[in-house]
Amino acid sequence: MATLAERLNSWFADAATPDAVGRLREPSTSEVAQAISQDPSHDVTISRSYLTALRNGSQTNPTVSVLSAIVKYFQSRDMSLPVSVSALVDEEPPARPAQSQDGWATALADRQVQSIAMRAGQLTPELREQLLSIMDVLDAKKSPPSGDTGKPAGDKA
């Protein structure tokens, strides 16, 4: 049974878009709170700290108007998950598309990946963003430069 926080965080992840170098980035909590507050189609304003509290589960009972405003924001994004108030508050977690489940299942079968994911889930959105930046640096270091075979200079293959 997924919580409101888990469903909301899955929407943030689903709304990720490629940045300038092609890495997927979730919209920030501040960006979403600001967009909701500036939307002239409703009178809901939401602070970054309140949206953070919804995302980390310390706030669990938002008003229907807050839920509707959050839904409206995510409906304006290219989402693969169902986006509605009922999808946000229902007992069943939103299902991911079948084509992405295979890749996730394979990756999550590894205990180290599970450990990293579980620990990252305990972090604030801001710290998760920093962790992603660190992982991007590590990814860049593991790719050998063009023309480099990764073998010592004296080796012949």
Structural domains for the chain: 4-142 (1.10.260.40)
3-class state of residue 18 by DSSP: strand
Residue 65 pLDDT exceeds 70: yes
- Average of pLDDT values for 109-136? 76
DSSP one-letter code for 152: -
Report the pLDDT value the prediction gives residue 10, as an integer from 0 to 100. Answer: 93
Mean pLDDT, the chain, integer: 81
H or E element in which residue 15 lies: none
Rounded percentage of the chain residues whose pLDDT exceeds 90: 42
Residue 99 is which amino acid?
Q
Is 25 in a helix, a strand, or coil? strand
- Rounded Cα distance between 109 and 24, Å, is 22
Report which of residues 131 and 69 the model is more confident about: 69
> Predicted confidence band at 135 (pLDDT cuts at 50, 70, 90)?
confident
Is-contact 53 59, C-beta < 8 A? yes
Would the pLDDT of 41 be above 90? yes
pLDDT at 157 over 50: no
Residue length of the chain: 157
DSSP string computed for 55-95: HHTS-----HHHHHHHHHHHHTS--SS--SHHHHHSSSPPP
Whether the CA torsion 31, 32, 38, 41 is positive or negative: it is: positive
- The count of other CB atoms within 10 Å of the CB of residue 54 is 23
